[in-house]
Amino acid sequence: MSEQLSLMYESEPSAPSAASADSDKNERQSDALLLRDHPMAFRLAEYLVQQIETEAERTTLRLVVNALGAALQQGHVCLNLERVAGRAALRDFAIDTRLGDLDSTLAAVRGWPFVQDENGEMPIDAKAYLSLKGTRLYLARYADWEQRLAENLHNRSVDSKTQIQQTTAAERVEIALNDDAVDWQRAAVKNSGLSQLSIVVGGPGTGKTTTVARILASILEQEETANYRIGLAAPTGKAAARMAGSLAAKIEESDLPSDLKQCVPTTAQTLHRLLAWMPSTRRFRYHKENPLLLDCLVVDEVSMIDIGLFVALLEALPKHARLILLGDPFQLASVQAGNVLAELCQTDALANFSEARAGLLELPTSVISKTPYALMDNIVFLQKSWRFRDDAGIGRLASACLNGDWPAFEQGLCDSDVEFLDKQHVDAENTLVDALSEHHSDIASAADIHMAFERLSRFQLLCANREHEWSTGYFNQRMASRVARSGVKTVVIDEQLCYHGMPVMMQRNLAQQGLFNGDVGILFEEGGQLWLWFDSAEKGLIRFVPTQVRGWLSAHAITIHKSQGSEYDRVAIVLPQLDSPLQTRQLLYTAITRAKSAVTLLAALPELQKAVATPNQRYSGLRERLSALPV
């Protein structure tokens, strides 16, 4: 990375300068909001403001950096100045003051000595803390990440492998579809032979695991070597374990020779484990100069990967290696900044190909795109769900949600496998607590820990928030109170009430113990001892003395974000209040599609209507950077 695009804080910024005596009320309010809500942005603004001469420009700097800090907190990669300039109240970014119009704001930003204008120049001696591209303002390292990500994906997309001939594996991939439908699974297998980068996307039940198993079978038959090194990874331990288990079963069912079957791992790793995160240095062991020893990497649940981790992953993968990305672009974006998969899978890039690629894949002319896009030929969108019907139940709710079709969604609330609990009814909340209690009894009565884990996936309560009303904390506390009143034996561990059959979830990474953020476990008694059990992605069932592990919490209720990569027989969903910024289409869609057979919704109708009508948009320039690269 260049010196100008180095990490923002290579050294601690100097102490904030004292506010001038004549600072106006708006500026003092802005500073207070910065300090309270965006401390990193406050420190940066007060460090940079020392390089600004006039008080008016200092005020602009504070407002702009505050808004950028808030944008990053909300998951945006950059601040879209065109969106915020000139607005009287920037309430989305916790600013209740006016920013100048777009032209004056851009002129001010371009004049700051610590801003690199990507369309211009900056003094050689200056250090870039911020980067400007068009009307998008970035922290310098985010702009650098975005450009490196675009270039890496583009390079992998155009590095074509041997052209597809009559490979036996591809020819054997036959799925019974309607006569007039495209077999997208077969297209994905054939397409994987045309470049190092394959992106296979689709909703739940569309056969992503089946497809990748056939892709790997095809690759292994082409390579014809038992030394071919394949890696499997996902953002969370739960997602990694689920992918590995499903994929192992599919590979075992295939007719690959046994020596080639052994090339496919039976376990998967979290991305942090794969890249070997080193907490002491806050760096990964594997990177561009020390790449992974892999010939092919399969990554599931790609929608959960933030931009910084995505760059680290791509740069640690050798240039010759194949990369297969799997995910659902309509799910919630990553917790941290970025929404990479959704950026790559814009609507006009799905189920569309260049004329040349459509010919190689033997696809109808209807899929030929009139507007070329850099990664268009690398993306295959699996469109048929083998789990849900589009016109009933979970399938109808999910489809209506994605399309923003409230009448269809409201009609779906009456389906037999959908239960709607109106928040206005007093008993609605108690109905969910009763369901949690029944689920706990089901787990606690299991004959052994294996049966307990099987029963754990039968039901899950999902909430948007971790704290306050209608949150995971609230429902977990209600369950603890109910268990305590029931006379069940309890013990207090790390200030939380614990008991036999209690589901838990890790909130941090403990690599030495093989535990990672999002791993699900159960407190289960065996031989008179209460043990903390986890179903590890790498080691299978492992147990600990509960007091020996830190960073786990009760998981009768978990957040919708934490549920990504998981499936349950039934889910209950609690939506946040109407004015919550979490009330989005992607949140509701993600929660609904965690269920395989039944969904319960606890919400007010206006909350559901707002969620269906509100797509979550994250600002970035990734797609523009990709489009600027040669096709």
Query: Are residues 232 and 356 part of one domain?
Result: yes
Query: Are residues 344 and 403 part of one domain?
Result: no
Query: Are residues 373 and 429 part of one domain?
Result: no
Look at residue 344 and tell me if it is in a domain. Answer: yes
User: Which 3 state secondary structure label does DSSP give 385?
Assistant: coil
- Other CB atoms within a 10 A radius of the CB of residue 323 amount to 22
Query: Are residues 535 and 505 part of one domain?
Result: yes
What is the structure's pLDDT at 600? 95
Q: pLDDT, tens digit, for every residue of 521-549? A: 999 998 889 999 998 766 778 999 999 89
| 10 vs 35: CA distance, rounded Å | 21
The b/e string for 326-354 (b: 16+ C-beta within 10 A; e otherwise) is bbbbbbbbbeebbbbbbbbbeeebbbbbb
Look at residue 293 and tell me if it is in a domain. Answer: yes
pLDDT at 90 over 70: no
Q: Report DSSP state, residue 91.
A: G
| Share above pLDDT 90 across residues of the chain, in percent, rounded to a whole number | 37
**Which pTM was predicted?**
0.84
Query: Are residues 342 and 441 part of one domain?
Result: no
Domain region containing 347: 182-387
What is the structure's pLDDT at 9? 31
340 is written with which tokens?
């990479």
Dihedral over alpha carbons 500, 504, 509, 510 (to 10 degrees) = 0
What's the full length of the chain, in residues?
Answer: 631
| 48 vs 95: CA distance, rounded Å | 19
What is the structure's pLDDT at 566? 87
Q: 38-47, 284-293, 315-324, 526-535: lowest mean pLDDT where?
A: 38-47
Say if CB 199 and CB 525 are below 8 A apart. no
Q: What is the mean pLDDT of residues 172-201?
A: 72
Q: What is the mean pLDDT of residues 117-128?
A: 66
Q: pLDDT, tens digit, for every residue of 556-601? A: 999 999 998 888 999 999 998 887 888 899 999 999 999 999 999 9
Q: Phi/psi of residue 554, each to 5°?
A: -55, 140
Amino acid, single-letter form, for residue 156: R
Domain boundary among 361, 387, 413: 387
Is 206 annotated to bind a ligand? Reply is yes
Q: Which range, 6-20, 52-66, 155-169, 275-289, has the best average confidence (pLDDT)?
A: 275-289
Query: Are residues 315 and 423 part of one domain?
Result: no
pLDDT at 498 over 70: yes
Domain boundary among 325, 359, 387: 387
What is the structure's pLDDT at 345? 85
Query: Are residues 460 and 584 part of one domain?
Result: yes
DSSP string, 26-75: HHHHHHHHHHHH-HHHHHHHHHHGGG--SHHHHHHHHHHHHHHHHHHHTT
Q: What is the mean pLDDT of residues 210-239?
A: 87
Query: Are residues 431 and 353 part of one domain?
Result: no
Q: What is the mean pLDDT of residues 303-324?
A: 94
Instruction: Give the pLDDT band (50/70/90) at residue 475.
Output: very high
Say if CB 537 and CB 270 are below 8 A apart. yes
pLDDT at 163 over 60: no
Is 209 annotated to bind a ligand? Reply is yes
Q: pLDDT, tens digit, for every residue of 365-412? A: 888 887 777 788 889 998 877 777 666 678 889 989 988 999 999 998
Query: Are residues 402 and 364 part of one domain?
Result: no
Look at residue 6 and tell me if it is in a domain. Answer: no
Look at residue 155 and tell me if it is in a domain. Answer: no
What is the structure's pLDDT at 177? 32
Query: Are residues 196 and 59 part of one domain?
Result: no
Q: What is the mean pLDDT of residues 8-19?
A: 32
| 217 vs 220: CA distance, rounded Å | 5
Count of CA atoms in the C-beta half-sphere (13 A) of 195: 22
Count structural domains, the chain. 3
Is 359 annotated to bind a ligand? Reply is no
Look at residue 104 and tell me if it is in a domain. Answer: yes
Look at residue 176 and tell me if it is in a domain. Answer: no
Q: What is the mean pLDDT of residues 496-515?
A: 88
Look at residue 342 and tell me if it is in a domain. Answer: yes
Query: Are residues 407 and 372 part of one domain?
Result: no
Instruction: Give the pLDDT band (50/70/90) at residue 95.
Output: low
Q: pLDDT, tens digit, for every residue of 615-625? A: 888 899 998 89
Query: Are residues 493 and 381 part of one domain?
Result: no
Is 614 annotated to bind a ligand? Reply is no
Is 202 annotated to bind a ligand? Reply is yes
Is 203 annotated to bind a ligand? Reply is yes
Look at residue 156 and tell me if it is in a domain. Answer: no
Q: What is the mean pLDDT of residues 604-610?
A: 92
Instruction: Give the pLDDT band (50/70/90) at residue 195.
Output: confident
**CATH code, 591:** 3.40.50.300
pLDDT at 256 over 60: yes
Domain boundary among 328, 360, 387: 387
| 412 vs 416: CA distance, rounded Å | 9
